[in-house]
Structures are given as C-alpha cells and as structure tokens.
Amino acid sequence: MCIVRVCRDCCCGTERKHPGVDHDGLLARLEVGTRGRARVLRSACLLACDESNVVVVTPSVAGRRSGGRPAWVRGVLDDATVDAITGWVALGGPGIAATPESLAPQVFAPSGLSLTWTAV
C-alpha cells in the first residue's frame, strides 16, 4: 500500500496562499480516490512552500523493491492533478507504474527545501 502525504501546515492547503481553491474538496477527492490502495496522511510543513500545494507519493513495499522512490508533486491545486495522482496509485504508484505524463512536469526533487513563503 502506498502512502500519500499531503502537506497541510503553513501555506499548503490555505485560502491565504491559494484563494478560490477548494482545498478540503481536493483532499476529500484524494482520500476517496485512493481508498483501499493508499493511506492518506496530513503532514506538517514539508519545507517546500514555493511548490505548494505539495503531495508526496511514497511507494508500497513492492514498489520500493522494484526501485520506486517517493515522488514529490507540486501544484496540487485542481481535480485533474488529484485524478492523475489517484489513477497512478490505482495502478500501483512509484516503482510499479510509470509516472503519468500529465503529472511528470509537476514531480520535483526535494532539494533546497525552504519555508520562504511564511515570511510574506
């Protein structure tokens, strides 16, 4: 079973940073869409504030054994992105299924993580 970690702290998931986005609705859609295939966890700040909203898809044990690594996804702000994540998890997630083409531009390496947005 994959783990889907959803950043919900200083700016991810807030109306303050992303006005007009139905953050609770997207989270509910993620939970429903991955039910039985992943554990969805709400996380404190993942220190990638410039990339918000951030979701990390961690591979299942089988995915990890097949070489899968956690995938950090930026800009999770709409139904299409959530649907791409839930579809990927349904296929097995990292290490089992290829990253969906529609999601690939949003996957990023978690280097140089920062909390820069909170100062605004």
* Positive or negative: CA dihedral 12, 86, 105, 73: positive
Number of domains within the chain = 1
pLDDT of residue 49: 87
Residue numbers of the chain with a pLDDT score lower than 50: 117-120
* Positive or negative: CA dihedral 114, 115, 119, 120: positive
pLDDT of residue 57: 98
From the list 42, 20, 52, the residue with the least C-alpha distance to 118 is: 52
Query: Domain with 40 in it: what CATH number?
Result: 3.40.30
| Torsion angle, alpha carbons of 49, 108, 54, 51, to 10 | 30
Range of the domain at 37: 2-119
pLDDT of residue 119: 43
